Amino acid sequence: MQSAPQPEELMVRYQQGDAAASTALIERLSPQLYRFFLAQEVSRRYADDLLQDTWLRVHEARHTWRPGEALLPWLYALARHVRVDHYRRVRRREQREQPVGALPEIAAPQPDAAASGPDLEKMLRELPESQREVLVMLKVSGMSIEEVARATGASAGSVKQKAHRAYERLRKLR
C-alpha cells in the first residue's frame, strides 16, 4: 500500500503544473489553515475568505518556494500576511463607514460544558495574539519551533518564550 505524498512533494508537482497535486495540497492543508484563522479571533465568514485569499496568494507565489525546504513555514508566513492585510483593510473600512446596524451571527449549538471540559477557544482568546499564534502553529499545526520561527520572522528563543508564557497563562485560566 502506497502512502500519501508529503505536502512538499505535492508542492513540487504543483510548481510543475500538476492540477491534481494542487487539489490534494489544498485538501490536505486547508483544515489546519482554517483552524489557524479561527484561533486568531476571526469570524467563520472571514476565516473562509482568508483561507481562499491564502490559496490565491500561494498560487501567485508558488514559484518562490524552494524544493527541499519545509513547506509549512513558507505557507504560514503567507497566511500571516493575508491575515494582517485583511485586518488593515477592515480597519480602514471601519474608519470610513458608519454602521447602520449589525446582524448577529448565528451561534453554533453549545455542547454541555461540564461534559466537554474547558472551552479551549475561549481560553485561547484570553492569550495575547502573538502567544496564541505561536501556540496554534505549534500544537494545532504540528510545526517545530524552528518552523514557527521562520513563519513568524522571530528567533527560536522568542518562539519558545511565547509558548512558555502561553502555557503558563493557560494553566492559570483552567
Give the tens place of pLDDT for each residue, 18-76: 999 999 999 999 999 999 988 877 778 888 999 999 999 999 999 999 999 999 999 99
Name which of 53, 34, 52 is nearest 44 in CA terms: 34
Work out the average pLDDT over 72-99: 83
Length of the chain: 174
- Joined together, the cell numbers standing for residue 164 give 512558555
CATH number for the domain whose boundaries are 119-174:
1.10.10.10
Work out the average pLDDT over 78-88: 90
For the chain, what are the domain ranges? 1-96, 119-174
What whole-number percentage of the chain has pLDDT above 70? 84
CA–CA dist 42, 91 (Å, integer)? 14
Q: Evaluate if residue 157 carries a pLDDT over 90.
A: yes
Reported as a pLDDT band with limits 50, 70 and 90, residue 86 is confident
CA–CA dist 25, 156 (Å, integer)? 27
Q: Which residue has the higher pLDDT, 121 or 78?
A: 78
> Is the domain covering 1-96 a CATH 3.40.630.30 domain?
no
